[in-house]
């Protein structure tokens, strides 16, 4: 695999040490809500698909979780980066919160008999293969990709390197996300005014490195520590591989 067919996230074996995020950012309640609200909504929708009678209460469940968990002083500090990814902490916490609330409401419907619906029964309801199991992660990864591409485009505009964004979009982004055929370098030379295919190749390599830098910066907003950031970059690689299984020759470079 040559440099044009590799993926744009860094290979973890040779990755440099990434600066961890300031933990204050991770425990900033407003930032957490802003960054994770959409993935939480998506995940909650899938979770409640197992409880049809509760679907109409989705907004209440989410609001209760935000109010009683995220916004409570000291709650976010319970997240231990040594025990896994921060988003996994949020996802499992929301799941436990919703299951507990569904149990309580079901008990109330049965006249307050709290043993009418056991926690074990509710656990069985959401056990096994779950159609929504990856929904939170997928929504989060989509957000990461969108933010990374937005940063890269703006960075190219500010630095007057619009040609880097254009060739990256034409050769990498559109083939992967839209399923279009990657244009030949001869076509890129004519389209963007390069002097030769070699110059276009070099420009794409520079654009890939730029994408990788922006990706690391975006991921570092959500996770703390080198190991966690590397794990998320690996997850991003898997996400793009699944998003474009037939575009192997045009994957984002590593």
For 70-87, write each residue's pLDDT tens digit: 999 889 888 877 777 788
* CB contact at 8 A, 44 and 98: yes
- Token readout for 90 is 């949020």
Task: Indicate if 127 and 143 belong to the same structural domain.
Answer: no
Confidence (pLDDT) at 20: 37
Distance set, CA 128 to CA 53, 133, 142 (Å): 21, 10, 25
Q: Vertex 162, ends 158 and 166: CA angle to 5°?
A: 140
* Weakest mean pLDDT among 88-97, 185-194, 238-247: 238-247
pLDDT above 70: residue 180: yes
Evaluate whether residue 241 is within a structural domain.
yes
Final residue before a domain boundary, out of 103, 131, 159? 131
Structure-model confidence comparison of residues 40 and 124, the more confident one: 40
Nearest of 158, 168, 147 to residue 210 by alpha carbon: 168
What domain range includes position 95? 23-131
Evaluate whether residue 163 is within a structural domain.
yes
Cα 225 from Cα 247, distance rounded (Å): 32
For 227-245, write each residue's pLDDT tens digit: 778 888 888 888 777 765 5
* Distance, first Cα to last Cα, the chain: 11
Task: Indicate if 230 and 199 belong to the same structural domain.
Answer: yes
Task: Indicate if 65 and 83 belong to the same structural domain.
Answer: yes
Evaluate whether residue 69 is within a structural domain.
yes
pLDDT above 70: residue 89: yes
pLDDT above 50: residue 34: yes
Q: Place 116 in a pLDDT band, splitting at 50, 70 and 90.
A: very low
């Amino acid at each position: 695999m040559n440099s044009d067919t590799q993926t744009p996230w860094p290979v973890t074996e040779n990755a440099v040490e990434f600066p961890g995020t300031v933990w204050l950012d991770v425990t900033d309640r407003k930032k957490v809500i802003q960054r994770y609200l959409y993935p939480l909504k998506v995940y909650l929708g899938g979770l409640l698909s197992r409880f049809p009678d509760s679907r109409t209460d989705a907004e209440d469940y989410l609001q209760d979780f935000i109010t009683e968990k995220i916004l409570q002083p000291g709650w976010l500090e319970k997240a231990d980066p040594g025990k896994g990814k921060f988003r996994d902490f949020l996802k499992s916490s929301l799941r436990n919160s919703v299951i507990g609330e569904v149990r309580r409401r079901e008990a109330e419907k049965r006249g307050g008999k709290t043993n009418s619906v056991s926690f074990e029964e509710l656990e069985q309801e959401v056990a096994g293969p779950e159609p929504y199991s990856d929904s939170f992660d997928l929504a989060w990864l989509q957000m990461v990709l969108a933010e990374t591409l937005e940063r890269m485009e703006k960075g190219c505009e500010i630095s007057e390197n619009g040609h880097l964004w254009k060739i990256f979009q034409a050769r990498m982004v559109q083939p992967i996300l839209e399923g279009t055929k990657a244009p030949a370098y001869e076509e890129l030379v004519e389209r963007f005014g390069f002097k030769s295919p070699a110059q276009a190749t070099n420009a794409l390599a520079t654009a890939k490195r730029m994408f990788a830098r922006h990706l690391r910066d975006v991921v570092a907003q959500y996770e703390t520590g080198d190991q966690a950031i590397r794990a998320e970059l690996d997850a991003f690689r898997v996400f793009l591989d699944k998003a474009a299984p037939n575009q192997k020759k045009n994957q984002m470079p590593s």
